[in-house]
Amino acid sequence: MRIYDKLYCNGTWVTPDGTEQIAVINPTSEETLAMIPAGTAVDVDRAVRAASAAQPGWAATPHTERAAYCQRIADQLSARQDALADLIACEVGTPLRIARNVQVGLPITTWNCMPELVTNTKFEEYVGNSLVLRTPVGVVGCITPWNYPLHQITAKVAPALAAGCAVVLKPSEVAPLNAFVLAEIMEAVGVPPSVFNLVTGYGPVVGEALVTHPEVAKISFTGSPPVGKRISELAARSLTRVTLELGGKSASVVLPDADLHRAVTATVNACLLNSGQTCSALTRLLVSRDQLAAAEVIAVEAVARLPLGDPLAPTTRLGPVVSNRQRERVRDYIARGVAEGARVVTGGVEAPVGLDHGFFVQPTIFSDVRSDMTIAQDEIFGPVLVIIPYDSEADAIAIANDSRYGLAGAVWSSDLAHSQQVARQLRTGQVDINGGAFNPRAPFGGFKQSGYGRELGSFGLEEFFEIQSLQLPPA
């Protein structure tokens, strides 16, 4: 068991204000993996004041130097990729191969992108007689989730640092250990003191202290809609800028002329990635009513090809969910789906055979689901897919848009132009066309209650600038 008894502030490891610690639980063994500090409002104040003092100097640092730090961080992450993958597999339960390629590989890509993005950014440009400047927004508070912990940290911290903003990071207390590794890397590459600060703890204490601190200029948050709304309410009191990346209930629309086997298989894989603990997961599969039975068979076969077990085992494709609380939440939704009349095609509320220990949930597929059912509307955040039949293309589009969320989606058709036409009618921030791959340089974010603002690529970098105009006199 690892013991972390310090926070990272002002370029050094400091003793927390309080003595309370939080246990980090391995979801596979149910044993305590580590202990971390439960930070307090005093710790937040110390970190924010340190970041505020460092802000002018970091903002004045040439952007090429800031980009060079980002590149060195990427290099350090690459050197530690295997160890980090192992760590996150133990924290979150992500199978090791996926942890290496996604949980660590994507953050490395994002840090690597910063030099190019900074080079292509117009920090100054003339518009008529005005000199328009992109200036750092100021101290940024980053509040991140547990499902893709290092990726979500990176999606906020990397562009914030590249833009010239000092940062205070509050990672999820459920999977915080990778954040300590990142702090070690910040120290190792010589990021100036107080430009990056780490305070661990609970959301209602550390998170709210960060959101309400008068010297924080911007909050970037990824998490649940209820917490996002709370952050918006608190931030509104001081007009602190906020970027929110919240939940999703994304629809995969399979048009009648699509390759049904490919579309259904890919949707199942996308739904169950990281045991369904993905905000952009394709959790609603929409198929024409006359293809429903065939889609069910394909979906069951796809699940059978995803072995469930220890995430450190090389053959495992699905691990546990992150906590007992999450397991009970998912099981409750499965029970509710049955009670509301949906038909279980595979899976169920019972523990998987041979996996009574650990927070495992059977991958579950429902069919004959109506759009008004709870399991078709709520973000379950577990390995649960619902299959909803539709009667026409217009019906499919209406069902896909029948959600308070709008984060992601997919459209499948043998006619590429037609699939894009349908995709343009979906009220969602990102749509995969015929299995189009995730692009870490493209903007990521949602419509409706999936939040506002964008992360990743040049659009994500823009979130950390203020725009200033200098009106110049005639020459």
Catalytic residues: 245, 279
- Axis-axis angle for helices 177-189, 81-92 (nearest 10): 160
Contacts of residue 259, defined as CB under 8 A and 6 or more positions apart, other chains included, come to 412, 414
Q: How far apart are CA 305 and CA 347, in angstroms?
A: 14
Which DSSP category does 431 fall into? -
Between the CA of residue 367 and those of 193, 293, 362, what are the distances in Å? 55, 9, 16
The span from the CA of 390 to the CA of 370, in Å, is 10
Strand 32-37 with 21-25, pairing: antiparallel
Across-strand partners of 327?
none
Sheet of strand 432-433: strand arrangement: 343-346, 364-367, 384-390, 282-288, 250-254, 409-412, 432-433
Residue located via tokens 């979801």: 27
Contact criterion met (CB below 8 Å) for 464 and 454 = no
Tokens of 48: 């924010």
Tell the residue number behind the tokens 């409750």, with chain if given. 332
The C-alpha angle with vertex 247 and arms to 195 and 343, in degrees rounded to 5, equals 150
The per-residue b/e assignment along 1-15, b for 16 or more CB within 10 angstroms, e otherwise, is eeebebbbbbbebbe
Nearest to 450 by CA among 427, 416, 421: 427
**The dihedral formed by the CA atoms of 351, 353, 359 and 360, expressed in degrees to the nearest 10:** -90
For the record, the structure tokens of 346 come out as: 């595979």
